[in-house]
Structures are given as structure tokens and as C-alpha cells.
Amino acid sequence: MSQPPNSNYFITLDEAIELTNKTKIPLKEEKINLQDSFNRILSKDIYSLIDDPPFDNSSMDGYALIYSDTITASEKNPIELEIIDIISAGKTPIKKLTPGYASKIMTGAPIPDGADSIIMVEKTEKIDNKVRIFSPSFKNYIRIKGENITKKQLILKKGTKLTPRDLGLLATSGHSEIYVYKKLKISIISTGDELIIPGNKLSPGQIYESNGYVLENLIKKLGHNSNRVNIISDSIEKLRLELNKASLESDIIITTGGVSMGDFDIVRKIMELEGKILFWRMKIRPGSPPLFGDWKNTPIFGLPGNPASSFVVFSILIKPWLNYITNTKNQENKIIKAKLIEDIKIKKGFHSFLRVYVENNGNEMVAFTKTHQGSGNMNSLSISNALTFLKPNDKTNKNDIIDVILID
């Protein structure tokens, strides 16, 4: 049993980050196939198994030849070389080149012994088994073994969340199986008597549940697994059962709704009486009532129910914490500068995360709000592409340059 430190106290974003970062989760590893590794987080540094390219090869369709044979070639006085071989990609050249000879070669095919130059097919003329060359062929168009990556070179660091490009690099360097962190299991519990699942007819007083859909997919995007619990009505008994279950099944619990001052704010109530609260309420707008603590040794975030609030708290607190505990470096919030093209109002002393749209107006990045900032306005999230990242004393008049976070 524990109480919030002081129920009139709102902690700052920095204090909240410091507190959450004190909570770590033991990470497990697993070996998976390359084709299953998109969006997974590497648990080990990765070194190339081979040189890339593995052999010298041609970067053009053309002729492999000896550069010194072509020094005197010109439009007026072309030179002719005898074609002794046709080398396609995937074949091993058998014939060694000696002066006076050339081998026809395709892109990606190995360079034959003796050759030191490739001339593009477009710059040649073929007559029977001879090729005519009209200009010197410099030592171009040979991709040298290992010029991209050398064997045993570090290619990807532990903590990298794998992109499609990274999968290409892993394949290129010979990896078919890799070690990643096991996905964290995150239970999502949406609370509220008024919530129903889309597909059902709304009765008076009801709204469709939406936070679960947002959170589930934000979690997926970060490379983890969510476990969605059906909507819980505002009943302490039901919530207790679900929290107990979630703490056994999951690494982390996220609840939405029920953390404010309302009579039926059961998440706050049960956490005050039976859980452990590390903090409750932050100096942020929107989303000031979040709660963080643990339920039976499982970290729990109690997010506010309003869609904009729960999205903001996930984005600025939970996402950075998940990155921190998994040491993931390449999916941090991207913060850019943009010029405000309207005055905006913020609450004094709070960090403000307004939903805005940023775009390049041809000269510079500009930011503006597209709609009203009510925290229940799901549409405002969908039509925005950024959140302002305004510190308590930042200026927010038209033409001020501000930080914005690009959102997922």
C-alpha cells in the first residue's frame, strides 16, 4: 500500500523520465530467422561474415579488357580487340586476358584474370568476334572485393531496431539467423463504463473505445507485443482481477482512463490502496494525470482516458522508456525546428504538446494547428503529423521557432 507523495504535486517531465528510468525489466534473447527479423531489436553487435562484394566484378554491361590496349583509341583511329569469352553474372571466367583480347561481360559478373578495365557496351561496336573501341577505357566500372564491407566489420550495433534496409544488409553480409531481444509483452487495459467496441450499436451515453487501437499499434511499431484485455467497466473488483492476470502474463501494464479526480477513477483508487505509485500527475498538457508505479512487481502506466492525452503520454514517456530499457537508439522521437505561423496559447509552467501540422512551405518548416485542441478530439491526432515540444518558458507567438516532435 502506498500513497502518491503529495496529492497536490505535479512532477515535471524530466522528473518523470528520471523516475521511470529507474525501473528496468530483465530482457531475454532469442535466435530468429532473418525473414522474421523486421522491426526486431538486436541483442548483439553484428559483424559481416564475408567481404562485400565477395569478388571483383563489373558494374556495367560491357567489355573487360586491358586499359593500356586502348590508350591510343580515338574516333578516327579505333582499336579492335578479339572477343574470347562471354561472362554472365554468376559464372566463373575461365579465360585469362592477354593484350589484344577482350571478354564480353555483364553487370555483376566476375572480372577475368588479366583485365584491369571495363568499357561500357554503349561506347563500343561489335563486328563479328571483334569489338571496336573509340576512346581510351579508363580503369572504371570495377567493383573491388570488400569495397562496401570487409569480413568481420561491425555492421549493426546491439540495440538497433531492424529496418527493411538493415535486413538487406544482414542478407548481403551472410546472416540467416540473428539474436534479438524477446518482445516485451505489454497488457493494455481500457477502463470506462461508457466504452464499447466498434461494430456494436451505441446506446445513450456510450462511445466507441479507441485508445486500445492506438496503443496496440504504437507498441507493435516499437517492436513489442501487446495483449489487449477487453474493456473493463469502472469496477474495482474487475480491475483487480485483470491487473492480477496482467501482472502474471505481461512485462508491463498500461491502463487507460480512471486516473483523474472523478468518483469512478478506479485505476488511481486501486493503485493508492493496493498498488505502489511512484508518481501521479505531470506538468504536461495535454495528459496531466498519468500515474506510474507497479502492480505486484509489474511496472504499470495509468494513462488518462482522453485519446490525445493517452497518445501524448505514450509518446513522450512510455516510448522513450521502452527505448531506454532495450537500449534502442534508432527509433527515438525525432525533434525538428519549425516556425509557428500563428500565435498559440500554452499553460504556464507546463510542457505543452499541441497537435500541429508541419510542412515545408518552400522556404522553411512551418507549424500550425489544424483544429481545436480538446484532448477528447481523436480527429485532431489523425490530421496532425507532429506535437509541439514546448518547454514551460518557450515563446509561442507567430514567427517564433519551436521544437516539434514528428509523430507515428
- By CB under 5 A, tell whether 257 contacts Mg ion: yes
Instruction: State which residue has the least CB distance to ligand AMP.
Output: 305
Q: How many other C-beta atoms can be found within 10 angstroms of the C-beta atom of residue 43?
A: 19
- By CB under 6 A, tell whether 195 contacts ligand AMP: yes
CA-angle at 187, arms to 185 and 188, nearest 5°: 140
Question: Of these partners, Mg ion, ligand AMP, none, which one is at the site of residue 5 (CB under 5 to 8 Å by kind)?
Answer: none
Footprint on residues 373-392 left by ligand AMP (CB under 6 A): 376
Would you say 79 and 127 are in contact if contact means Cβ atoms under 8 Å apart? Answer: no
Interface mask (CB under 5 A) for Mg ion, residues 296-335, using x and -? ---------x------------------------------
Classify residue 287 as left (phi > 0), alpha (psi -120 to 50) or beta: left
* Long-range pairs, 241-245, Cβ under 8 A, ≥24: 242/189, 243/189, 243/270, 243/275, 243/295, 243/296, 243/300, 244/295, 244/296
The residue type at 166: D
C-alpha to C-alpha distance for 261 and 341, rounded to whole angstroms = 36
The residue type at 323: N
Give min distance, CB of 259 to Mg ion, in A: 9
The residue type at 316: I
- By CB under 6 A, tell whether 173 contacts ligand AMP: no
Question: Of these partners, Mg ion, ligand AMP, none, which one is at the site of residue 293 (CB under 5 to 8 Å by kind)?
Answer: none
171, 202, 207, 248: which one binds ligand AMP (CB under 6 A): 207
Size of the site for ligand AMP (CB under 6 A): 19
Footprint on residues 240-259 left by ligand AMP (CB under 6 A): 256-258
DSSP secondary structure string, 285-348? ES----EEEEETTEEEEEE-SSHHHHHHHIIIIIHHHHHHHTT--TTPPEEEEEEESS-----T
Give min distance, CB of 307 to ligand AMP, in A: 5
Nearer to ligand AMP, 163 or 217 (CB): 217
- By CB under 5 A, tell whether 290 contacts Mg ion: no
- By CB under 5 A, tell whether 192 contacts Mg ion: yes
Question: Of these partners, Mg ion, ligand AMP, none, which one is at the site of residue 304 (CB under 5 to 8 Å by kind)?
Answer: ligand AMP
Give min distance, CB of 192 to Mg ion, in A: 4
Q: How many other C-beta atoms can be found within 10 angstroms of the C-beta atom of residue 350?
A: 19
Give min distance, CB of 372 to ligand AMP, in A: 15
3-state helix, strand, coil in the chain (%, to 5): 20, 30, 45
Given the rule CB under 6 A, which residues bind ligand AMP?
190, 192, 194-195, 207, 209-212, 256-258, 260, 262, 304-307, 376
Given the rule CB under 5 A, which residues bind Mg ion?
192, 257-258, 305
